[in-house]
């Protein structure tokens, strides 16, 4: 399979699943794929982001060695929101290596506090930060304050539901 051609052929859940299934748990195929995500043009990276999320959810061990590059990619100026959304989505569900936790916290706090950021990116960032607060309890108060501020500014029903759930968890600990 020529992954690049397949990424550009069609942008759909079906296509993302097809490419992810082809990659499977094969490190060589994932390496070819992740190279496109990290180094190809804007449109290819955008479409690869969805596939990355699907593959990483099923085969985290393939994505783990690439986490530093993935985190750097989502911080690039002008990066497509799909890249940020799917990388931070992945970070919600995995054990972030200790050496990356500080960078991830900084990025997620910045994205959560940015009113211009998409709701999905802010919601996923909030969850990543809540997960990290288990290791860094001193970030809880700052996280609570930002979440409360976001709620005062108005938010989507999904963001409100996630916020309330996380606030309850953060305050209970």
pLDDT in tens, 18-54: 999 999 999 999 999 999 999 999 999 999 999 999 9
* Angstrom distance (rounded) from CA 167 to CA 161: 10
94 neighbors 111 (Cβ within 8 angstroms): no
Nearest to 7 by CA among 32, 24, 27, 25: 32
Distance CA 39, CA 137 (A): 36
Q: Give the residue from 114, 112, 120 showing the smallest Cα distance to 90.
A: 120
67-98 pLDDT, tens digit each? 999 999 999 999 999 999 999 999 998 889 99
The DSSP code for 154 is -
Which sign, positive or negative, has the C-alpha torsion 125, 120, 9, 58?
A: positive
Task: Indicate the pTM of the whole model.
Answer: 0.90
C-beta atoms surrounding 132 within 10 Å:
20
Taking the domains of the chain in order of start, what are their residue ranges? Answer: 1-67, 95-173
DSSP at 41: -
């Amino acid at each position: 399979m020529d992954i690049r051609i397949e990424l550009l052929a069609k942008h759909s859940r079906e296509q993302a699943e097809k490419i992810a299934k082809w990659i499977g748990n094969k490190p060589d195929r994932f390496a070819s794929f992740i190279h496109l995500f990290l180094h190809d043009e804007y449109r290819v990276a955008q479409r690869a982001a969805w596939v990355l999320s699907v593959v990483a959810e099923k085969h985290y061990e393939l994505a783990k060695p690439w986490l530093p590059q993935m985190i750097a990619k989502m911080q690039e100026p002008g990066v497509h929101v799909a890249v940020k959304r799917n990388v931070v989505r992945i970070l919600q569900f995995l054990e972030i290596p200790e050496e990356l936790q500080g960078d991830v916290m900084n990025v997620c706090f910045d994205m959560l506090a940015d009113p211009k950021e998409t709701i999905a990116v802010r919601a996923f960032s909030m969850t990543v930060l809540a997960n990290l607060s288990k290791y860094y309890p001193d970030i809880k108060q700052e996280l609570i304050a930002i979440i409360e501020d976001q709620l005062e500014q108005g938010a989507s029903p999904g963001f409100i539901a996630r916020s309330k759930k996380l606030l309850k968890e953060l305050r209970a600990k």
